[in-house]
Each structure stands twice: as structure tokens, then as C-alpha cells.
Chains A and B, each alone.
Chain A
Amino acid sequence: MAKSVEIHLKVNGKNHVGHCESRTLLADFLRDHLNLTGTHTGCEHGVCGVCTIFVNGEAVRSCIMLAAQANGAEIVTIEGLSTEGRYHAVQKAFHENHALQCGFCTPGMLATVIDFLKTNPSPTKPEVKEALSAVLCRCTGYQNIVKAVMEAAADMREGTVGASANV
């Protein structure tokens, strides 16, 4: 088996075919091969969480997954979260609560939070903080992020803001 692999995958609803080395990380494949630079890389060893994306509907860290492992997968990145120019409910709540400053960790925060709210639609604040421990933010002090997640959860429960169908 070769050190080079061919990869077929769907990213944000669009089919792609790519070639890369077997050692290429999924985060680097998205950024360098597909030019989807919204997925950020921070620590590159699965600790900071900023590279978190959706693979087959689940939040995963793309810096510790090989691109070859995503062959055949459906991926959603930050570029695919909004639909027809409308923010996902969690994006909207982040925007309105000033839950990002430099924005570097935000793509990872959003993927983590959206997956978290799927299995826990009515979280308590301590539960939100625990979920957020998966991503490091060095700007906000987390207070506004917690506020945004609580608001997004309420919005999604009441159906006032549509969750994106993409994820």
C-alpha cells in the first residue's frame, strides 16, 4: 500500500476528490488541499480543540485524524454552518453575546457546542462549562461563551432560531 492515498469526501455538501500523503492530517488536507482555512490549527496534538469539525455528524478533532481516514466521510466545517446566509443558532448567539474576540478558537467552539447541544438540549451552566473545557480560548474568559451557549440552547428549544440542517 502506498504512502500516497486518494480521498473522496463530501465537505459542506460538495464532493471532492483529492490526493495526499497517507500521513496528511485531516485539518491540513482541508486547509492546504481544499483551501478551507476556516478550520484552524493550534496545538496540533489534540489538546486545544480549535480544529474541531464535524465528521459524519460528530464533533472530532481534525488535527489527530488522518485525511485518509475521512475517505467516504461527510464533513461540515465552519464554512458550512450557515445556510443561505443565515447563521446557525449557536453562531447567532456567539455573535450577539460577544463570545469571540480574536475568533481563533471560534470554529472549534461552535462545532463542540453544536454537538454538545444535540445530546443535551437543556444544559445547566456547569454542564456547559464542562463541555467548553474541550476548547481553549485565550481571549474571552469564557463568560460570554457560556452566556451564548445558554442563549442558543433556549433559542433552539423554543425554535425561534433555526438550527442548521447541515449538522
Chain B
Amino acid sequence: MKPAAFDYYAPTTVDDVMALLKRHGSDARLLAGGQTLLPMMNFRLAAPEVIIDLNRIPELAFIREAGGQVHIGAMTRQRALEFSPVIAKDLPLLHEAIKMVGHLPTRSRGTIGGSLANADSAAEIPMILQVLEGEVLVRGPDGERTIPAAELILDAMTTSLAESEMLAEVRFQVMPQGALFAVEEFSRRRGDFAIAAVAAMLVVKDGLCEKARIATAGVSSFSSRLRAAEEILEGRALDADAIRKAGEAAGASIEPVSDRNASEEYRRHLTRVLTTRVLNRAAESAKPH
């Protein structure tokens, strides 16, 4: 349960990271919070020759409001997101979901960028990026590019980032005023990997659902939008019938994985139940109390 030997670098600027990535290529792994990579190294499921530690780069940790957007540095700790007034005000869905990420001591180290670049199928942050249609800013040898949520994760633990690139920043539109939202997760122990999770954001205008964004985590090999359920809701009133139909569509539309934690059928069931629950909670929150 100890990592294999590696060369260790702790650069202090992004430019230095770029130079190290150029020199070491596929031998190198970037180390963010380390809450997944180090367990994998302890198990020797990962044995990189070179570790490039991003924890000494102050320019990668920030939360900024920027013209209707929130920009978050990749090395911003999950604990910092949990207590950020900007996140609570502008991205309340992320604020809710971040408390479900691991446990307190893993959130002290774990980062938003690390979670996205690692792309664990059960991770909550990729699900929230999908629901809020965020994007990531990537630094590479030829400068910067952005990748929208839908194009970031290709499969379990696989992203569209090139070997020479680094995820530098995560960007979200501020959630619309009065947007309805909820997130629900099922795991055996609070903080454990989600067997299934569903998050949703709904924009309702004049009694009709104008926009529905729903995504999963833990169900399939990577987080994906529940477009069939979204289509059922859009243009309709958020009544019991619409919510029931959306839940059924959610369960039917996914391609669940089957593993020792849960069968395919059980994950399908959970997706239907959690989608219904999330939509009910979101609809309830719209009613005056």
C-alpha cells in the first residue's frame, strides 16, 4: 500500500507546469488534491514516473465573479467552495452538492479541477458541470482553449484533455434568478461513492417549465444529461404527471453499469426514484411557504 518511486516536481507557476509536461509527456501525472490519485498510487493502480504537484501554484486557486459568470481556479479546494459566499449566492446547486463530495478531511485537500480532470464516474462535480452547462479553461503548449461540459468527459476516468494540457479553470454562468434546483444521492454511507445521484436545475416562467437540465452521477461510466426527461418537462407545467413521466424517461434512457455495489436494474430504479424526488423537491421549493 505504498506508491512506486517517482520523480517529484513542485512548480510554482503554470508556465513551469507547461515546460514540465512538454519534457515528460505521458510519463507525468499532474497531482491536484490527490484524494483519488494517491489512493490509486498506493494500490499501484497508477505508477507514474513523474509527479507534477500543482499545490504550490497560488494563481490556480481563486473564486471570482466575472460579468454574469463565476470563474473558479482548478486548485480551489472543495472546502473553500463549501464556505464561499459567492458560490452560495450565485451557484446554490454547487453549494448543495459540494457537501456530498467525500468527507470533511478529503474536501480539505480535494479540488474542483482535480475532480473534473480525474472524471470518476461517481463524482458529483462533473454532474453539476453538466447541469449548469459550465465549461473548463485548459492551458496547453499553444495557449488556452475552453471545453464545454458536454465534451469534457469521454468515458470513466477519461477526458478530452491532451497529455500536454492542464485544466486551469472552471467557468459557470450564474444560475438564473429564481431557478429551481435540487440534488439527491444514494450511497451506503454518507460521503461514500454514489451508487446513483441526480441533480437538476429548472427555470419556470408563467407556470411553465422553460428550461430543464438534469444529469446523473454514479449510474453510468460517466455523468450524462437526462435529455429524454428534460424534453418531457420543457414547455409543460411542473405537475405530478409531468414529474412522474420525466422520472420514467430518466430510468429508461440511461445505460447503467453493473458492479458489486448495484445491478444495472437497481441503478435504473434508483435513477427513476431520485429523478422524481429531485424534481418534486425543486417544484416544492417554488411554492410560497
Contacts and interface: CB of A to CB of B under 8 A. Distances in A.
Interface residues of B, number: 32
Nearest to A136: B189
Interface in A63-112: 63-66, 68-69, 71, 111-112
A65 B10 CA distance: 14
B192 to A, nearest CB: 8
A155 interface: no
Contacts of A43: 1
A121 B286 CA distance: 31
A5 B8 contact: yes
A131 B106 CA distance: 12
B261 to A, nearest CB: 14
B7 A1 contact: yes
A66 B37 CA distance: 11
Nearest to B8: A22
A46 B38 contact: yes
B7 to A, nearest CB: 5
B103 A22 contact: no
Interface string B232-255: 000000000000000000000000
A66 B191 CA distance: 23
B2 interface: yes
Nearest to B39: A45
Interface string B78-99: 0100010000000000000000
Interface in A1-27: 1-3, 5, 21-23, 25
A40 interface: no
A50 B5 CA distance: 25
B105 A65 contact: no
A33 to B, nearest CB: 14
B6 A22 contact: yes
Query: Main SS of the interface on chain A?
Result: mixed
Interface in B17-75: 31, 34-35, 38-39, 41-43, 51, 53, 55
B7 A60 contact: no
B8 A119 contact: no
A59 B35 CA distance: 13
A158 to B, nearest CB: 24
B105 A23 contact: no
Interface in A41-67: 43-47, 49, 52, 55, 58-61, 63-66
Given A44-B42, A59-B104, A23 B5 contact: yes
Interface residues of A, number: 38
A19 to B, nearest CB: 13
A59 B105 contact: yes
Most chain A beta-carbon neighbours within 10 Å: one of B8, B10, B103: B103
Contact of B10 (A28, A45, A64, A68): A68
Nearest to B4: A23
Interface string A117-134: 001000000000111011
Contacts of A61: 35, 105-106, 109
Given A45-B43, A46-B35, A46-B38, A3 B6 contact: yes
B3 interface: yes
A151 interface: no
Nearest to B108: A58
B9 interface: yes
A133 B42 contact: no
8 contacts: A23-B41, A25-B3, A25-B42, A45-B42, A58-B108, A64-B42, A115-B104, A130-B191
Q: 8 closest Cβ contacts across the A-B interface?
A: A134-B103, A22-B8, A44-B1, A64-B38, A45-B39, A58-B108, A23-B3, A59-B105
